[in-house]
């Protein structure tokens, strides 16, 4: 079926609201296509979504047995079993609690010796899997998606990136100090992300309001890599009231959602 191109902005009251809405979008995708290829994200924002998906798995029989996953990024230099690695994060907060098959999980390997070869092979595995159907994204305060910091090429592919100082500071809370945060990460590029068939970006809290505004309403710019979402035909942004508060057109976005429900059609912006 041909999907209607659109950018949807869904504004929920709070963090629990965005977690439920995001999980139900992901669950719908899996129920429609049980062999869905999911692009997954780490960080505080998607935690509630993973919790909701685990609940759906336990209580409503949502099955991940055919689902294939690719994570966006990983710290460079951290072994998979390091407690702060994104590998550990994903297993603890999601994979260990649902029925995803270990052989269907891909997370960039932060310990690879040949970075270029690894990055090319990560891209190749995504292609071989048929491409990503639905990519989940958070957004950094500097407007990054994945670890595509300001200045990243909007055509970039999976590669090694230097983290911005702001990101290092933001992530210090997980490491118990800025000095312990790795300075490099492997990340899918903006070009890689834009090839996913659908994008689902989440944001919660007032500290993300500026980045959300720049991403949705600002000019397309490599200084705010999330603004590249404006180029994609199938984007859903799910944010809470606090993260929406700098959006100039937020009442219009609410109205569009209301209209879409009333006509039972996919309308969009
Ligand atoms: P957060 O990170 O969910 O921990 O705020 C988002 C991001 O940096 O992409």
Site to probe by mutation for ligand 1, drawn from 18, 22, 40, 44 as the one with most ligand atoms within 8 Å of Cβ, is 44
Residues with CB under 6 A from ligand 1: 43-45, 138-140
Q: Which tokens go with 222?
A: 């490599």
User: Which residues of the chain are modeled with pLDDT < 70?
Assistant: 1-5, 264-269
pLDDT of residue 262: 84
Whole-number Å distance, alpha carbon 140 to ligand 1 midpoint, is: 5
- Rounded to two decimals, the pTM is 0.96
- Any alpha helices (H) in the chain, and if so which ranges? 15-32, 47-60, 86-93, 115-128, 165-175, 190-194, 209-217, 241-244, 250-263
Which residues constitute the domain of residue 114? 7-267
Domain of residue 231, CATH code: 3.40.50.1360
Establish if 258 belongs to a structural domain. Answer: yes
CA–CA gap between residue 146 and residue 90 (Å, rounded): 15
In the annotation, is 2 catalytic? no
Establish if 2 belongs to a structural domain. Answer: no
Establish if 39 belongs to a structural domain. Answer: yes
Overall number of domains in the chain: 1
pLDDT of residue 193: 98
**Residues belonging to the chain:** 269
pLDDT of residue 261: 82
pLDDT of residue 260: 83
Task: Tell me which long-range contacts 172-181 makes (C-beta under 8 A, separation of at least 24).
Answer: 174/84, 175/84
* Chain centroid to CA 154: 16
With a CB cutoff of 8 Å and minimum separation 6, the contacts of 261 are none
Establish if 1 belongs to a structural domain. Answer: no
Angle, vertex CA 106, rays to CA 141 and CA 39, nearest 5 = 45
Nearest to 19 by CA among 38, 45, 58: 45
């Amino acid at each position: 079926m041909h999907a209607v191109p659109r950018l949807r902005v869904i504004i929920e009251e709070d963090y629990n609201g965005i977690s439920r809405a995001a999980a139900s979008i992901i669950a719908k995708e899996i129920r429609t296509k049980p062999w869905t290829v999911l692009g997954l994200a780490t960080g505080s924002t998607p935690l509630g979504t993973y919790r909701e998906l685990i609940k759906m798995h336990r209580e409503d029989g949502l099955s991940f047995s055919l689902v294939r996953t690719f994570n966006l990024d990983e710290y460079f230099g951290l072994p998979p079993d390091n407690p702060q690695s994104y590998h550990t994060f994903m297993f603890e907060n999601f994979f260990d609690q649902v029925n995803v098959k270990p052989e269907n999980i891909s997370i960039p390997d932060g310990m690879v010796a040949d970075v270029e070869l690894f990055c090319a092979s990560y891209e190749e595995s995504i292609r071989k899997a048929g491409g990503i159907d639905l990519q989940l994204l958070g957004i950094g305060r500097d407007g990054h998606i994945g670890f595509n910091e300001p200045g990243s090429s909007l055509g970039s592919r999976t590669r090694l990136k230097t983290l911005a100082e702001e990101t290092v500071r933001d992530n210090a809370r997980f490491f118990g100090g800025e000095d312990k945060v790795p300075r490099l990460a492997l990340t899918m590029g903006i070009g890689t992300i834009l090839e996913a068939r659908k994008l689902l970006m989440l944001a919660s809290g007032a500290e993300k309001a500026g980045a959300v505004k720049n991403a949705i309403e600002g000019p397309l710019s490599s200084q705010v890599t999330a603004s590249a979402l404006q180029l994609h035909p199938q984007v859903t942004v799910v944010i809470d009231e606090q993260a929406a508060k700098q959006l100039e057109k937020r009442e219009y976005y609410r109205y569009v959602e209301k209209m879409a429900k009333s006509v039972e059609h996919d309308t969009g912006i």
